[in-house]
Structure 1
Amino acid sequence: MIATWLGAGTLLVLQPYVHLDPELLMLTQFGPTIGVLAAIGLLAKDSQQGTKNALVRAGVGAGIVVALFGVCAAALALAGQPLHLAIPEQFWLIAPLQLIGACGEELGWRTFLQRHLQTRFSMIVSAVIVGVLWSTWHIQYYAFGPAFFLSFVTMSVAVSLIMAVLVRGTSRRGSLLVAGVFHWLLNLGILILLNFEQGGLRNMLILAASSVVIAAVVVGGNRQVTR
């Protein structure tokens, strides 16, 4: 984790020097990749076990993301604040770069750390640990205040629980596909529908609450299935 945080901090400093718009790609997303490569080097030759269902799980994950933003939309409507669609001009470039960034993160979080922790702890405990660590290295959100950041931590833990269920039993390659696609769609949904990059506390609170609701349904449903 030290390598992850140091790597993310270094990449944050380098961002303005490479003249890459943060909306296109945040270099800090590759912090977890630096961490996992520092720990184990490039991913070892992987087993094919569990990969056959990766595409199906990625599709399920996409459906969960849609449900998540549906709950957000309903909550905003009840609050008298409907969603405002805002598609960036360079969306055609942002979308593929965001996928690269999301997979760069998930190489460290779900493909390595979640799997490693589950050799010692339960899936839920492992997901909570990963979620907290995942949130703390988003150092750009510290400046938005404690209420915003605590909401972000809550959202991250809830989403981490959802992804832990989705990647459970998959191979490394499968978990990277499933978690990477989920993370990518989540980022795009936030960018287009909520855009709390400027410190929108209301949107962050609603996203956090909606994530907790969806996580409770997903984790509860998984327990029923595995009984």
Structure 2
Amino acid sequence: MTLIDSPRFNRLSGIVLAYYVLASVFALLLGIVQPATGIPVVIIQLTQFGPMLAVLVVLWLLPGSRGLVRQAGLQSSKAGIAQLGEAVLIVVAIFVVALAWYGLSGHMIDFTNPFDLAHPIWIIVIAQFIGAAGEEIGWRCFLQPALQTRMGVLLSSVVVGLLWGVWHVGVFAEGWLYASSFILFAVCLSVILGELLRGKRLKLPTATTFHALINLAMLLWFKEEGGDAYAMATMAVATLIAAVCALIVHSVRTGRGTRKSNNTFPELR
């Protein structure tokens, strides 16, 4: 019996499909409701809570998924300072590369002073972290570890990134260059997060911090939300470079660990 024919694989496929459909439906409904709430999208987009709601419904409707979640390691734990610091440094590196390219290519950097925004920056920051957590409960705390019970980290990250990118269905209205750049951007971010979270039980604090900082930096430095394909392509290439670097670092660390284990002498008894 092949992996695809196995009952466990079919169960996982059903859980993933149910989650993705529900996350999309909830996002659509929340997007329709948002104008009536009066909450500006620059503060928070209610669609970000679609993945979180989808996880709750899947756990309720499909009791079998609870064991899968426990196996995947959804249980919360405290974030390590070093891991959070690494996430922040990667975000800084991505934007240094993107802004450097803008400067070298002669494109004007359209920086927005955070105190010139229509709403207080502290409210936006808090809301961005809350919204990022709403998404990451679904993508990195549920879907990613669930897929990792049947796939490797890299393949799981790519699959999650593709699904995550397409889930932002509005990007397709901006043309093929913008949409393809955004999907590459999402896949690369997913690969970076997959490496950051590899082998670790904490997921939500690091994933939320990384996601929120990316959103905030793009809000202040780029106008890609207005359909600027060049800005989106620049961010995609910068995150691609960061993702490749993250994979190289993992490869080097793995190689060192293997050599260390091979060179260990037995204890004297």
Does 2:59 match 1:17? no
1:68 is paired with a residue of what secondary structure? Answer: helix
Matched, 1:181 2:248: no
Q: What is the rounded CA distance, in whole Å, between the counterparts of 1:78 and 1:211 in structure 2?
A: 18
Is the partner of 1:20 in helix, strand or coil? Answer: coil
Normalised by the length of structure 1, the TM-score is 0.93
1:71 corresponds in structure 2 to: 97
> Which residue does the alignment assign to 2:124?
94
Across the aligned residues of Structure 1 and Structure 2, the Cα RMSD in angstroms comes to 1.8
Give, as a single letter, the amino acid of the residue that structure 2 aligns with 1:140.
G
Give the Cα–Cα distance (whole angstroms) in 2 for the partners of residues 125 and 32 of structure 1: 20
**1:204-225 deviation digits (Å, cap 9, x = unpaired):** 0100011101110011111110
**Structure 2 unaligned residues grouped into runs of 5+:** 1-19, 61-65, 256-269
Partner of residue 115 from structure 1, selected from 133, 145, 161: 145
Aligned twin of 2:221: 193
C-alpha distance in 2, partners of 1:143/1:85? 25
Partner residue of 1:127?
157
- Cα distance change on mapping 1:71 and 1:146 into 2, 3 Å: same
Task: Show CA shifts across 1:93-146 (max 9, x none).
Answer: 111000000011000000111100011001010000000111111122221111
1:47 is displaced (CA, Å) by 5.2
Letter matched to residue 24 of structure 1: I
Residue type matched to 1:31 in 2?
G
Q: How far apart are residue 56 of structure 1 and its match?
A: 1.7
Note if 1:54 corresponds to 2:90.
no
How far apart, in 2, do the equivalents of 1:46 and 1:155 lie? 25
Letter in 2 for 1:223: S
- Using the alignment, how far apart are the partners of 1:82 and 1:118 within structure 2? 42
DSSP-derived class of the 2:226 partner? coil
User: Which residue does the alignment assign to 1:159?
Assistant: 189
Deviates more, 1:125-134 or 1:83-92: 83-92
Is residue 27 from structure 1 mapped to residue 55 from structure 2 by the alignment? no
Hey, what does 1:226 align to over in structure 2?
A: 254
- Partner AA of 1:18 in structure 2: T
Q: CA deviation at 1:32?
A: 0.8
CA distance in 2, matches of 1:213, 1:125: 18
CA distance in 2, matches of 1:94, 1:170: 29
Q: Which amino acid in structure 2 is aligned with residue 166 of structure 1?
A: L
- Structure ID, larger Rg: 2
**Percent identity of paired positions between Structure 1 and Structure 2:** 33
Alpha-carbon displacement from aligned partner over 1:36-65 (angstroms, at most 9, x marks no partner): 1111259879657xx466332111000000
Structure 1 segments of 4+ aligned residues over 4 angstroms from their partners: 41-48
Relative contact order (alpha carbons < 8 A, sep ≥ 6): 1 or 2 greater? 1
Residues of 2 paired with 1:46 and 1:35: CA distance?
Answer: 15
Q: What amino acid does structure 1 have at the position aligned with 2:238?
A: S
Q: Is contact 1:73–1:82 with CA below 8 Å preserved after alignment? A: no
**What is the one-letter code of the residue matched to 2:57?**
A
Q: 1:89, CA displacement in angstroms? A: 3.6
